[in-house]
Structure 1
Amino acid sequence: MYLIGLTGGIAAGKSTIARRLVEHGAVHIDADQLARRVVEKGTPGLASIREEFGDSVIAADGTLDRARLGQRVFGDPEALARLNAIVHPLVRALSETLIAKAGAEKPDAVVVYDVPLLVEAQVDHPFDLIVVANATRRTRVKRLVEIRGLEEDHAVARVESQAGDTERLRIADVIIDTDGSMAHTVSETDALWARIRREQRAATP
């Protein structure tokens, strides 16, 4: 199995890279989706959040009220740290299970673990390669406004709330520049796939 850690700031083009790698045959595991799964209705994760933050963050149907929880933790580093202390270990355990399952089902699988907060959450899986999707702050804000419909001040706040580009680039084995056209990003991703396959062939006895 070949394990890739894919990261990058919000609106940096991670989904384009992940989608192209899946088209080539990679298995995609999305940390954001896992974070939602571990706090679904009836899970120990949701029970822990309720115990920590109270009934006010639970909706009438028993699910997590994400808007209310967001209001509690946004701008409050201590509250956010308490939330992360609940969610991150659960996501890590689930991701380890899914990665192991992918490798067991197909020993030569290429697994892409898409972790937007790889730096912030200090994810330390034994990655064969860490790939960073990199776009300028200006481009990312523009995408959030034009594609996702955010107000510009909200878009700027979202971008600035994450780790800086320098921190992400410092851990990168491969940097894919997503500032240009989608065709360029796809081409760079194709080159990455070719490199991975060469490395896999070279490692095969």
Structure 2
Amino acid sequence: MNIGLTGGIATGKSTVSSMLTRKGALLVDADVIAREVMLPGHPVLAEVAAYFGQDIIQADGQLDRKKLGEIIFHDEKKRQALNEITHPAIRREIRKQMMDYEAAYPDRLVVVDIPLLYESELQSLFEKIIVVYVPREIQLHRLMERDNITKERAEARLNSQMDIEQKKQLADEVIDNSGTLEKTSDQVDELWKRLFRS
């Protein structure tokens, strides 16, 4: 079974995905794939640099993520342009990894962690979609603490994604990660049982 795992920035998707992998799920991580297509020498990075300018490339050939982030979090058109360059390559790799896992491990649960699952309209790839949820105020607070950024910057990042309440409404399953790790773990246990009952 393939399930999509999503949420918002700083809602705790990695926490939940690691709990699922400890139970035996196989993980396809869109963030890892997104980083790989931005490595020196990858054609996607070359295309991004051609569009945004060589300023976003550091002396060692690596992408300057902070610089690119500052550009796209404040400019909807440029964010869209970046997505149009990167998303097709990321989607191809997600599909490939899913198919490879399905062929090699037909009885295992495959969890695909995609932060922008709904924004990218990838729902049709999955049998179920799980949203890792925290209320926006907690999300904002965690993001400011995690990335050591101002409220204004954190708001800009949250505003660049679909609202977490909207994602919660669209979900097949919701894991509320606003409490303790133990409470989140209990919900993951219950979810695991439901997935294997159906």
TM-score, normalised by the number of residues in structure 2:
0.92
CA contact (8 A) 2:74 2:156 kept: no
Q: Which runs of 5+ in 2 are unaligned?
A: none
The residue aligned with 1:8 is 7
Partner-residue secondary structure (3-state), 2:125: coil
Q: How many equivalent pairs are there?
A: 198
What's the % identity of the aligned pairs?
A: 39
CA distance in 2, matches of 1:116, 1:95: 13
CA distance in 2, matches of 1:72, 1:154: 12
The residue aligned with 1:182 is 181
The residue aligned with 1:202 is none
Aligned-CA RMSD value: 1.6
Q: Assess, with a 3 A threshold, how the Cα gap between structure 1 residues 148 and 67 changes in structure 2: closer, same or farther.
A: closer
TM-score, normalised by the number of residues in structure 1:
0.89
CA contact (8 A) 1:50 1:58 kept: yes
CA distance in 2, matches of 1:78, 1:155: 19
Q: State the structure with more CA Rg.
A: 1
Q: Assess, with a 3 A threshold, how the Cα gap between structure 1 residues 71 and 10 changes in structure 2: closer, same or farther.
A: closer
Spell out, residue by residue over 1:25-78, the C-alpha distance to the aligned partner (whole angstroms, 9 max, x if none).
001111111111112110110111122222222221222222222233231111
The residue aligned with 1:79 is 78
Matches within 5 A, 1:6-45: 6-45=5-44
CA distance in 1, matches of 2:170, 2:32: 23
Matches within 5 A, 1:26-175: 26-175=25-174
CA contact (8 A) 2:58 2:64 kept: yes
Q: Which runs of 5+ in 1 are unaligned?
A: 200-205
Partner-residue secondary structure (3-state), 2:184: helix
Partner-residue secondary structure (3-state), 1:162: coil
Deviation at 1:148, TM superposition (A): 4.2
